[in-house]
Amino acid sequence: MKTVITAETLFTPLEEIRNPVVIIEDERIAAVASRAALEIPTQARHLDFPGQIIVPGLIDVHIHGGSGYDVMQAGASALASIEQGMVRHGVTSYLPTTVTASWEQTLHSVDLLGQHIERPPAGHRSRALGIHLEGPFISHAKRGVHPPEHLLPPTPALLQNLHDAARHTVRMMTLAPEVNGAVDTIRHASGLGIRSSLGHSDADLANARAAVDAGALHATHTFNAMRPLDHREPGILGLVLSDDRLTADLIADGIHVAPEVVKVFLASKGLQRSLLITDAISATGMPNGQYQLGNFQVHVKDGRCEYQGRLAGSVLTLDGAVRNVMQFAALTLRHAIQLVTINPARLLGIAHERGAVVPGAVADLTILNPHSQVVGCMVAGTMEA
């Protein structure tokens, strides 16, 4: 049966359509146009959202958990709670993100996550597109809260072991370019279709450039866990902000990065190369208290997540990040939405499938009110009643 969705405005997001009609058939978008250009088919289910805004389903490429659960637990009930919580904030797809743990625990977690990704469960919940490995291939100097005893120098063989254990579902890897073996591992990752992202790094400019030359194409939570920018020794941040071969993401919660620096980031990278992430942990959507991140406990109070006095993820939601960046950098909603839809889809090489409301794409849609708050969400053509 066909489903028709109408509203006041649609951001595809690259185009604005007033009085839009979106026709959905077999979990895919069949047609998109204005009411003046497209007749609403008879005998179709019609969902009308007067005064509201249709945007693509949001995509989070860096999230550790939510609703009281960590993705590395990877149990059915844990993942269901995380994914149902994400849908309430308009996120229709995501990369479950690991944190450095023992080798055995990491292999076990990615195996369970790989099984989950291979056989996505039914129901109104966000869909895991692949695994993001954050660690163990990071710098001791900029490890943040990652346990130092479990960090490892990257090698193609170790990455292959992780990818095999994950049933070939690893889609992204954060690593420090200055660590021995990084360049060879980046080249191997490219051959596997894994996106290499620079992060948790104390790299100088030369090491960072060598990694990009080898195939790295993204940067993880820019400014956080990175060598600070110096005007004579720009280091990794100098390359991230200036090299157009790299896209980069940022945590726009007002805690990890000051609003003024968010403006600097967007001015440097531009709308086409900027992404927003949450880096959210199990505490997201929960009250103050102690929560799990990997295999350690994080203290959460008033939106700030800390472990031994250091920031340890966030409780940010992706729709909240959109509203924040609109405020911090005076972005329009259409421009802010690009940072959480088409841009992450392009990074992952799935822009033909997700991240845009265009014919042929999966029918992942988020409905916003005029205050940019989520009022509805469709996942693969299904919207919860």
**Active site positions, annotated:** 279
- Report the C-alpha gap between 319 and 296 in whole angstroms: 27
Between β-strands 304-307 and 310-311, what pairing exists: parallel, antiparallel or unpaired?
A: antiparallel
- Report the C-alpha gap between 324 and 318 in whole angstroms: 10
Q: For helices 156-165 and 103-118, what crossing angle results, to 10°?
A: 50
Reduced 3-state DSSP string for the chain = CCEEEEEEEEECCCCEEECEEEEEECCEEEEEEECCCCCCCCCCEEEEEEEEEEEECEEEEEECEECCEEHHHCCHHHHHHHHHHHHCCCEEEEEEECCCCCHHHHHHHHHHHHHHHHCCCCCCCCEECCEEEECCCCCCCCCCCCCHHHCCCCCHHHHHHHHHHCCCCEEEEEECCCCCCHHHHHHHHHHHCCEEEECCECCCHHHHHHHHHHCCCEECCCCCCECCCCCCCCHHHHHHHHCCCCEEEEECCCCCCCHHHHHHHHHHHCCCCEEEECCECCCCCCCCEEEEECCEEEEEECCEEEECCEECCECCCHHHHHHHHHHHHCCCHHHHHHCCCHHHHHHHCCCCCCCCCCCCCECCEEEECCCCCEEEEEECCEECC
- Report the C-alpha gap between 214 and 12 in whole angstroms: 33
Asked if residues 286 and 307 have their Cβ atoms less than 8 Å apart, the reply is no
Between β-strands 195-198 and 218-219, what pairing exists: parallel, antiparallel or unpaired?
A: parallel
